[in-house]
Amino acid sequence: MMKKGKLKYRGAKRGLAVCIGASMSAMLVCGCETQQSVAENKVHVGVTYYNQSDTFLNELLECFEEDLKAYQKGGIETTVTIRDAAGAQRTQNDQVEELIDAGCDVLCVNLVDRADPSEIIDLARDHDVPIVFFNREPVAEDLLQWDKLYYVGADADQSGVFQGELASELIKNDAETDKNGDGRIQYVILEGEAGHQDAIIRTENAVETMKNNGVQLEKLSYQIANWNRAQAQNRMQQLIAQYGDGIELVLANNDDMALGAVDAYEKSGFPKEEYPAFFGIDGTNVGLQAVVDGSFSGTVYNDKEGQAAAMAELAVALATHDGLQNMEFERGKYIYLPYEKITVENVEDFLSETEPGS
């Protein structure tokens, strides 16, 4: 079992590079200024996220806190306050008010309802506190409401395409995937929250990519499990009751749901040889471990280190009014980190050795 904080991932190194780069440029800028203005370089970041039970976001925010700490070496004192909105937009709106009252210089918001950011935007604009939205992308019109609104995330289309490519490769290279040998792959999909940009896009792109690769598919069922392992296990148990050993492929919109599907099979009493192939998305610690131990045929890396580093760099730049010019944006406001495919062949690149002495 992996221990938190003992392993570094490929993205972490990349993230660190961004981070150190930013700290260095801050130091260079600070070097020309007086000692006093260095001391005044304090940044208070307020974060609120949709739900503290989300595995991927907890890992992302852990990286984010580390990245912010690293700015201290560059003479920027950072503090961060993190709030859990527990799935309620109303609660999140109140948290934003509270964070602004507490003197936050910049906000990082992971919306509960990505279609409902107006109250938060109004509050922030009234107090001139910039917002970096992350992971749950507001609709484009909302981001245009004010010039101090940004988004950091990843390219949802790409994650679905990569998952579809991974599944197609397996089906082509391993005849056993078509368990009943009928030339078609009977598949189910476990989907994230309805309305989340990553859910529907991942599903559509994965299926389309397999079709484009010539895979003959037979859809058995699409089930919403809200990114959640326990819900996915539950849905999968129902599907197993319905289809018996007839399921050959499980595509899940994230690793936690793919793990929930594996949990259901473990409870089902089926021998391992009769399990379907499972694919996730994220490359969370547990997801990577599932690739290592062969429970998953593959996953797609959602670069939490890269996203966290971009959020930290952007938050510090906005709060200190320095460094924005060094950052690259799409359409002036968006930063999207790329995904990467992971199988047992390259999973080691995403896990690195235990640090000596740790």
Q: Which residues bind ligand BGC (CB under 6 A)?
A: 54, 56-57, 135-136, 196, 198, 227, 254, 281-282, 302
Least distance between ligand BGC and beta carbon 225 (Å):
11
CA neighbours within 13 Å on the CB side: how many for 177? Answer: 25
Q: Determine the straight-line distance between the first and last CA of the chain, rounded to whole angstroms.
A: 15
Distance CA 312, CA 322 (A): 13
309 near 19, Cβ under 8 Å? Answer: yes
**Which of 56, 275 has the CB closer to ligand BGC?**
56
C-alpha 49, offset from chain centre = 12
Nearest to residue 52, comparing CAs of 4, 85, 99?
A: 85
Nearest to residue 15, comparing CAs of 58, 57, 70, 52?
A: 70
**Which of 50, 71 has the CB closer to ligand BGC?**
50
Least distance between ligand BGC and beta carbon 57 (Å):
6
Distance CA 212, CA 300 (A): 19
**Which of 54, 165 has the CB closer to ligand BGC?**
54
**Which of 57, 171 has the CB closer to ligand BGC?**
57
> Cα dist. 326→99, 138, 314 in Å?
28, 24, 10
**Which of 74, 260 has the CB closer to ligand BGC?**
260
Least distance between ligand BGC and beta carbon 302 (Å):
5
Least distance between ligand BGC and beta carbon 69 (Å):
24
Q: Which residues contact 246 (CB under 8 A, 6 or more apart)?
A: 180, 186, 220
Least distance between ligand BGC and beta carbon 136 (Å):
5
Nearest to residue 246, comparing CAs of 198, 197, 187?
A: 187
> Cα dist. 314→82, 98, 286, 358 in Å?
17, 22, 29, 30
Least distance between ligand BGC and beta carbon 228 (Å):
8
Least distance between ligand BGC and beta carbon 328 (Å):
21
**Which of 21, 87 has the CB closer to ligand BGC?**
87
> Phi, psi at residue 332, to the nearest 5°?
75, -10
C-alpha 211, offset from chain centre = 26
**Which of 41, 55 has the CB closer to ligand BGC?**
55
Task: Provide the Cα torsion 258, 260, 264, 265; round to 10°.
Answer: 30
Least distance between ligand BGC and beta carbon 144 (Å):
22
CA neighbours within 13 Å on the CB side: how many for 104? Answer: 26
Least distance between ligand BGC and beta carbon 301 (Å):
10
Least distance between ligand BGC and beta carbon 227 (Å):
3
**Which of 54, 313 has the CB closer to ligand BGC?**
54
**Which of 215, 281 has the CB closer to ligand BGC?**
281
**Which of 260, 323 has the CB closer to ligand BGC?**
260
Task: Provide the Cα torsion 195, 51, 108, 61; round to 10°.
Answer: -120
